[in-house]
Amino acid sequence: MEKNKNVFDNVLQLIGSTPLIKLNKMTANFDGEYYAKVEAFNPGHSSKDRIALHIIEEAERQGILNPGDTIIETTSGNTGFSIAMVSIIKGYECILAVSSKSSADKIDMLKSMGAKVYVCPAHVKADDPRSYYQVAKRLHEEIKGSIYINQYFNQLNIDAHYNTTGPEIWDQTNGEITHLVACSGTGGTISGISKYLKEQNPNIKVIGVDAYGSVLKKYHETREFDDKEIYPYRIEGLGKNLIPTATDFDLIDKFVKVTDEQSAHTAREVSNTEGLFVGYTSGAAMQALKQLEAEGEFSPSDKVVVIFPDHGSRYMSKVYSDKWMEDQGFFDSKTATVSTIEYIK
Protein backbone atom coordinates (compact mmCIF):
# COMPACT_ATOMS: atom_id res chain seq x y z
CA MET A 1 0.00 0.00 0.00
CA GLU A 2 1.29 3.46 -0.80
CA LYS A 3 2.20 5.37 2.36
CA ASN A 4 -0.45 7.74 3.63
CA LYS A 5 0.53 10.46 6.12
CA ASN A 6 -1.14 8.81 9.08
CA VAL A 7 -0.35 5.16 8.38
CA PHE A 8 2.45 3.38 10.26
CA ASP A 9 4.36 0.10 9.94
CA ASN A 10 3.94 -0.60 13.67
CA VAL A 11 3.07 1.18 16.90
CA LEU A 12 6.70 2.01 17.67
CA GLN A 13 6.75 4.60 14.89
CA LEU A 14 4.34 6.67 16.99
CA ILE A 15 6.81 7.14 19.85
CA GLY A 16 7.81 10.75 20.52
CA SER A 17 6.66 14.01 18.87
CA THR A 18 4.23 14.56 21.73
CA PRO A 19 2.23 17.79 21.84
CA LEU A 20 2.99 20.89 23.90
CA ILE A 21 -0.34 22.09 25.30
CA LYS A 22 -0.87 25.53 26.79
CA LEU A 23 -2.12 25.62 30.36
CA ASN A 24 -4.85 28.20 30.69
CA LYS A 25 -7.00 28.05 33.78
CA MET A 26 -4.54 26.82 36.41
CA THR A 27 -1.96 29.42 35.49
CA ALA A 28 -4.38 32.26 34.71
CA ASN A 29 -3.08 34.41 37.58
CA PHE A 30 0.58 33.45 37.22
CA ASP A 31 3.24 35.64 35.60
CA GLY A 32 4.39 34.18 32.26
CA GLU A 33 3.12 31.56 29.82
CA TYR A 34 2.92 27.89 30.74
CA TYR A 35 2.96 24.82 28.52
CA ALA A 36 2.73 21.13 29.34
CA LYS A 37 4.64 18.51 27.36
CA VAL A 38 2.01 15.78 27.52
CA GLU A 39 3.87 12.48 27.34
CA ALA A 40 0.68 10.41 27.66
CA PHE A 41 0.37 10.94 23.88
CA ASN A 42 3.09 8.32 23.40
CA PRO A 43 1.53 4.98 22.36
CA GLY A 44 2.50 3.40 25.71
CA HIS A 45 1.03 6.49 27.41
CA SER A 46 4.25 7.70 29.07
CA SER A 47 7.65 9.28 28.46
CA LYS A 48 9.24 5.88 29.06
CA ASP A 49 8.42 4.74 25.51
CA ARG A 50 11.30 6.92 24.39
CA ILE A 51 13.92 5.25 26.58
CA ALA A 52 12.63 1.71 26.00
CA LEU A 53 12.90 2.09 22.24
CA HIS A 54 16.26 3.86 22.32
CA ILE A 55 17.95 1.48 24.76
CA ILE A 56 16.66 -1.67 23.04
CA GLU A 57 17.62 -0.45 19.55
CA GLU A 58 21.07 0.54 20.81
CA ALA A 59 21.53 -2.96 22.30
CA GLU A 60 20.52 -4.42 18.92
CA ARG A 61 23.02 -2.18 17.12
CA GLN A 62 25.76 -3.29 19.51
CA GLY A 63 24.85 -6.95 18.91
CA ILE A 64 24.19 -7.66 22.61
CA LEU A 65 20.49 -8.38 22.03
CA ASN A 66 19.48 -11.19 19.70
CA PRO A 67 16.07 -12.54 18.60
CA GLY A 68 14.32 -14.41 21.41
CA ASP A 69 16.54 -12.91 24.15
CA THR A 70 15.11 -11.69 27.46
CA ILE A 71 14.91 -8.07 28.53
CA ILE A 72 14.92 -7.46 32.31
CA GLU A 73 14.16 -4.23 34.11
CA THR A 74 13.32 -2.64 37.44
CA THR A 75 10.39 -0.33 37.04
CA SER A 76 7.65 1.58 38.84
CA GLY A 77 5.43 0.44 35.98
CA ASN A 78 5.77 2.84 33.08
CA THR A 79 9.19 1.72 31.85
CA GLY A 80 7.99 -1.87 32.13
CA PHE A 81 4.93 -1.18 30.03
CA SER A 82 7.04 0.48 27.35
CA ILE A 83 9.61 -2.35 27.35
CA ALA A 84 6.80 -4.92 27.12
CA MET A 85 5.34 -3.05 24.15
CA VAL A 86 8.69 -2.84 22.34
CA SER A 87 9.40 -6.52 23.18
CA ILE A 88 6.13 -7.63 21.58
CA ILE A 89 6.92 -5.86 18.32
CA LYS A 90 10.55 -6.97 18.25
CA GLY A 91 10.12 -10.53 19.58
CA TYR A 92 11.80 -10.51 23.00
CA GLU A 93 10.84 -12.03 26.36
CA CYS A 94 10.20 -9.41 29.03
CA ILE A 95 10.74 -9.79 32.80
CA LEU A 96 9.94 -6.91 35.12
CA ALA A 97 10.77 -6.39 38.81
CA VAL A 98 8.24 -3.95 40.20
CA SER A 99 8.00 -2.18 43.54
CA SER A 100 4.99 -3.13 45.68
CA LYS A 101 4.28 0.62 45.82
CA SER A 102 3.21 0.57 42.17
CA SER A 103 -0.52 0.83 41.65
CA ALA A 104 -2.43 -2.41 41.03
CA ASP A 105 -3.52 -0.86 37.71
CA LYS A 106 0.09 -0.65 36.56
CA ILE A 107 1.01 -4.17 37.66
CA ASP A 108 -2.04 -5.66 35.89
CA MET A 109 -1.19 -3.69 32.77
CA LEU A 110 2.30 -5.21 32.64
CA LYS A 111 0.83 -8.69 32.88
CA SER A 112 -1.67 -7.81 30.16
CA MET A 113 1.23 -6.89 27.88
CA GLY A 114 2.70 -10.38 28.26
CA ALA A 115 5.47 -9.57 30.75
CA LYS A 116 6.51 -11.83 33.64
CA VAL A 117 6.23 -9.64 36.72
CA TYR A 118 7.99 -9.90 40.11
CA VAL A 119 6.48 -7.63 42.77
CA CYS A 120 9.16 -6.69 45.34
CA PRO A 121 8.72 -4.99 48.74
CA ALA A 122 8.94 -1.19 48.43
CA HIS A 123 10.26 -0.22 51.83
CA VAL A 124 13.53 -2.13 51.92
CA LYS A 125 17.01 -0.69 51.26
CA ALA A 126 18.30 -0.73 47.68
CA ASP A 127 20.95 -3.35 48.62
CA ASP A 128 18.44 -5.70 50.29
CA PRO A 129 18.21 -8.97 48.26
CA ARG A 130 14.42 -8.49 48.10
CA SER A 131 14.63 -4.99 46.57
CA TYR A 132 13.59 -4.73 42.95
CA TYR A 133 17.17 -3.77 42.01
CA GLN A 134 18.66 -6.93 43.53
CA VAL A 135 15.92 -9.20 42.15
CA ALA A 136 16.50 -7.87 38.62
CA LYS A 137 20.28 -8.27 39.01
CA ARG A 138 19.91 -11.86 40.19
CA LEU A 139 17.57 -12.78 37.31
CA HIS A 140 19.99 -11.24 34.82
CA GLU A 141 22.81 -13.38 36.22
CA GLU A 142 20.66 -16.52 36.10
CA ILE A 143 19.08 -16.14 32.64
CA LYS A 144 21.34 -16.74 29.64
CA GLY A 145 20.78 -14.35 26.73
CA SER A 146 19.33 -11.61 28.93
CA ILE A 147 20.04 -7.91 29.14
CA TYR A 148 19.35 -5.71 32.15
CA ILE A 149 18.25 -2.24 31.07
CA ASN A 150 19.09 -0.71 34.49
CA GLN A 151 17.53 2.67 33.68
CA TYR A 152 18.88 4.31 36.86
CA PHE A 153 22.47 3.70 35.80
CA ASN A 154 22.21 3.76 32.02
CA GLN A 155 23.54 6.76 30.09
CA LEU A 156 21.26 5.80 27.18
CA ASN A 157 18.32 6.90 29.35
CA ILE A 158 19.69 10.48 29.25
CA ASP A 159 20.55 10.16 25.54
CA ALA A 160 16.97 9.19 24.60
CA HIS A 161 15.69 12.50 25.96
CA TYR A 162 18.69 14.46 24.64
CA ASN A 163 17.94 13.10 21.15
CA THR A 164 14.17 13.54 21.14
CA THR A 165 12.35 15.33 24.00
CA GLY A 166 14.89 18.17 24.25
CA PRO A 167 14.88 19.08 20.53
CA GLU A 168 11.08 18.76 20.39
CA ILE A 169 10.65 21.30 23.23
CA TRP A 170 13.19 23.67 21.69
CA ASP A 171 11.34 23.55 18.34
CA GLN A 172 7.87 23.72 19.84
CA THR A 173 8.75 26.88 21.82
CA ASN A 174 10.67 28.40 18.87
CA GLY A 175 13.65 28.55 21.22
CA GLU A 176 11.79 30.88 23.59
CA ILE A 177 11.62 28.54 26.59
CA THR A 178 12.99 30.14 29.78
CA HIS A 179 12.27 27.41 32.38
CA LEU A 180 11.86 23.65 32.42
CA VAL A 181 10.10 22.02 35.37
CA ALA A 182 10.37 18.22 35.44
CA CYS A 183 10.10 15.38 37.95
CA SER A 184 13.26 13.44 38.69
CA GLY A 185 13.22 9.70 39.25
CA THR A 186 16.00 8.10 37.27
CA GLY A 187 16.76 11.68 36.20
CA GLY A 188 16.95 10.68 32.54
CA THR A 189 14.14 12.99 31.45
CA ILE A 190 15.36 16.14 33.18
CA SER A 191 19.06 15.53 32.46
CA GLY A 192 18.61 14.71 28.77
CA ILE A 193 16.27 17.62 28.08
CA SER A 194 18.43 19.99 30.13
CA LYS A 195 21.61 18.99 28.29
CA TYR A 196 20.03 19.77 24.93
CA LEU A 197 18.33 23.00 26.02
CA LYS A 198 21.37 24.41 27.85
CA GLU A 199 23.51 23.74 24.76
CA GLN A 200 21.10 25.96 22.82
CA ASN A 201 20.77 28.58 25.57
CA PRO A 202 22.70 28.23 28.86
CA ASN A 203 20.35 30.73 30.55
CA ILE A 204 17.41 28.33 30.51
CA LYS A 205 16.63 27.44 34.12
CA VAL A 206 16.03 23.76 34.84
CA ILE A 207 14.13 22.88 38.00
CA GLY A 208 13.77 19.33 39.30
CA VAL A 209 10.82 18.05 41.32
CA ASP A 210 11.57 15.72 44.23
CA ALA A 211 9.47 14.04 46.91
CA TYR A 212 9.65 14.40 50.69
CA GLY A 213 11.26 11.08 51.66
CA SER A 214 13.80 11.16 48.81
CA VAL A 215 17.51 12.01 48.85
CA LEU A 216 17.80 13.91 45.55
CA LYS A 217 17.28 17.54 46.65
CA LYS A 218 19.70 17.30 49.59
CA TYR A 219 22.27 15.50 47.41
CA HIS A 220 22.00 18.26 44.81
CA GLU A 221 22.62 20.91 47.43
CA THR A 222 25.36 19.23 49.45
CA ARG A 223 26.65 16.34 47.28
CA GLU A 224 26.13 14.26 50.39
CA PHE A 225 24.01 11.10 50.50
CA ASP A 226 21.93 11.49 53.65
CA ASP A 227 19.90 8.39 54.44
CA LYS A 228 18.07 10.32 57.17
CA GLU A 229 16.19 11.95 54.26
CA ILE A 230 14.70 8.57 53.33
CA TYR A 231 11.22 7.61 54.52
CA PRO A 232 8.17 6.10 52.79
CA TYR A 233 6.05 8.26 50.51
CA ARG A 234 3.29 7.51 48.07
CA ILE A 235 4.11 9.15 44.74
CA GLU A 236 5.45 6.59 42.27
CA GLY A 237 8.27 7.34 39.87
CA LEU A 238 9.48 10.52 41.57
CA GLY A 239 12.45 10.86 43.92
CA LYS A 240 14.84 8.11 44.98
CA ASN A 241 16.50 6.29 47.89
CA LEU A 242 19.79 6.13 45.96
CA ILE A 243 21.78 8.42 43.66
CA PRO A 244 21.19 7.39 40.03
CA THR A 245 24.01 8.00 37.56
CA ALA A 246 21.29 8.73 34.98
CA THR A 247 20.89 12.05 36.82
CA ASP A 248 23.37 14.76 35.86
CA PHE A 249 23.06 16.99 38.93
CA ASP A 250 25.21 19.70 37.30
CA LEU A 251 22.52 20.19 34.65
CA ILE A 252 19.80 20.91 37.24
CA ASP A 253 19.66 24.41 38.73
CA LYS A 254 17.56 23.55 41.76
CA PHE A 255 15.10 21.08 43.23
CA VAL A 256 11.68 21.65 44.75
CA LYS A 257 10.02 19.12 47.07
CA VAL A 258 6.32 18.39 46.96
CA THR A 259 4.01 16.45 49.28
CA ASP A 260 1.98 13.37 48.42
CA GLU A 261 -1.21 15.11 49.45
CA GLN A 262 -0.80 18.35 47.51
CA SER A 263 0.41 16.47 44.42
CA ALA A 264 -2.65 14.22 44.49
CA HIS A 265 -5.05 17.15 44.73
CA THR A 266 -3.18 19.03 42.03
CA ALA A 267 -3.35 16.04 39.64
CA ARG A 268 -7.12 16.02 40.10
CA GLU A 269 -7.19 19.78 39.58
CA VAL A 270 -5.27 19.52 36.27
CA SER A 271 -7.78 16.95 35.04
CA ASN A 272 -10.77 19.01 36.11
CA THR A 273 -9.60 22.41 34.93
CA GLU A 274 -7.41 21.78 31.89
CA GLY A 275 -9.21 18.62 30.71
CA LEU A 276 -5.90 16.75 30.71
CA PHE A 277 -6.27 13.41 32.50
CA VAL A 278 -2.80 13.18 34.03
CA GLY A 279 -0.88 10.88 36.37
CA TYR A 280 0.34 11.45 39.93
CA THR A 281 3.74 12.89 38.99
CA SER A 282 2.11 15.35 36.59
CA GLY A 283 0.25 16.57 39.66
CA ALA A 284 3.61 16.74 41.47
CA ALA A 285 5.19 18.78 38.66
CA MET A 286 2.22 21.14 38.57
CA GLN A 287 2.34 21.44 42.37
CA ALA A 288 6.03 22.40 42.13
CA LEU A 289 5.12 25.00 39.54
CA LYS A 290 2.54 26.49 41.92
CA GLN A 291 5.14 26.65 44.73
CA LEU A 292 7.71 28.23 42.43
CA GLU A 293 5.23 30.85 41.27
CA ALA A 294 4.32 31.68 44.87
CA GLU A 295 8.06 32.17 45.59
CA GLY A 296 8.27 34.70 42.73
CA GLU A 297 10.34 32.47 40.42
CA PHE A 298 8.64 33.61 37.20
CA SER A 299 8.28 36.97 35.45
CA PRO A 300 5.70 38.09 32.84
CA SER A 301 7.97 37.43 29.84
CA ASP A 302 8.81 33.84 30.89
CA LYS A 303 7.84 30.76 28.90
CA VAL A 304 7.73 27.77 31.18
CA VAL A 305 7.50 24.14 30.08
CA VAL A 306 6.36 21.49 32.56
CA ILE A 307 6.62 17.78 31.79
CA PHE A 308 3.52 15.64 32.38
CA PRO A 309 5.04 12.12 32.29
CA ASP A 310 2.00 9.83 32.09
CA HIS A 311 -1.76 9.31 31.94
CA GLY A 312 -4.36 9.42 34.72
CA SER A 313 -5.84 6.04 33.81
CA ARG A 314 -2.88 4.40 35.60
CA TYR A 315 -4.06 5.83 38.92
CA MET A 316 -7.73 4.90 39.03
CA SER A 317 -7.16 2.93 42.25
CA LYS A 318 -5.08 5.74 43.76
CA VAL A 319 -5.30 9.46 43.08
CA TYR A 320 -8.62 9.16 41.24
CA SER A 321 -10.18 6.87 43.85
CA ASP A 322 -12.12 8.84 46.49
CA LYS A 323 -11.72 5.89 48.83
CA TRP A 324 -7.93 5.84 48.43
CA MET A 325 -7.76 9.60 48.97
CA GLU A 326 -9.87 9.24 52.09
CA ASP A 327 -7.78 6.31 53.39
CA GLN A 328 -4.64 8.44 53.06
CA GLY A 329 -6.31 11.23 55.03
CA PHE A 330 -6.13 13.50 52.00
CA PHE A 331 -9.73 14.71 52.18
CA ASP A 332 -10.80 17.27 54.73
CA SER A 333 -13.99 19.32 54.93
CA LYS A 334 -12.56 21.70 52.31
CA THR A 335 -11.42 19.16 49.74
CA ALA A 336 -13.88 16.25 50.13
CA THR A 337 -15.62 15.57 46.85
CA VAL A 338 -19.25 14.78 46.48
CA SER A 339 -19.80 11.65 44.41
CA THR A 340 -21.10 12.49 40.98
CA ILE A 341 -22.08 8.94 40.16
CA GLU A 342 -25.80 8.21 40.43
CA TYR A 343 -27.03 4.61 40.15
CA ILE A 344 -30.48 4.21 38.59
CA LYS A 345 -32.18 1.09 39.96
* Residue 283 binds ligand PMP (CB under 6 A): no
How far apart CA 307 and CA 165 sit, in angstroms, is 10
* Residue 168 binds ligand PMP (CB under 6 A): no
3-state secondary structure of 139: helix
* Residue 120 binds ligand PMP (CB under 6 A): no
Of residues 74 through 103, those in contact with ligand PMP by CB under 6 A are: 76, 78
5 given a catalytic annotation: no
- Among the listed ranges 115-123, 182-190, 220-228, 270-278, the one in contact with ligand PMP (CB under 6 A) is 182-190
Q: Residues, the chain, total?
A: 345
Query: 80 vs 298, which CB is nearer to ligand PMP?
Result: 80
Question: According to CB under 6 A, which one of 131, 189, 214, 241 is a site residue for ligand PMP?
Answer: 189
Query: 18 vs 76, which CB is nearer to ligand PMP?
Result: 76
Minimum distance from CB of 165 to ligand PMP (Å)?
9
* Residue 107 binds ligand PMP (CB under 6 A): no
Packing angle of the helix pair 260-274, 280-294 (nearest 10 deg): 100
Question: According to CB under 6 A, which one of 166, 185, 283, 312 is a site residue for ligand PMP?
Answer: 185
83's CB contacts (< 8 A; 6+ apart) are 52, 56, 71, 73, 75, 94, 96, 115, 149
* Residue 69 binds ligand PMP (CB under 6 A): no
Comparing CA positions, the residue from 117, 113, 132 lying closest to residue 43 is: 113
Query: 33 vs 310, which CB is nearer to ligand PMP?
Result: 310
How far apart CA 258 and CA 208 sit, in angstroms, is 11
Of residues 297 through 316, those in contact with ligand PMP by CB under 6 A are: 309-310
Q: What share of the chain is helix, strand, coil (3-state, %, to 5)?
A: 40, 15, 45
Which helix (DSSP H) or strand (DSSP E) does residue 258 occupy?
strand 254-258
Active site residues: 48
Interface with ligand PMP (CB under 6 A): 76, 78, 183-190, 237-238, 279, 281, 309-310
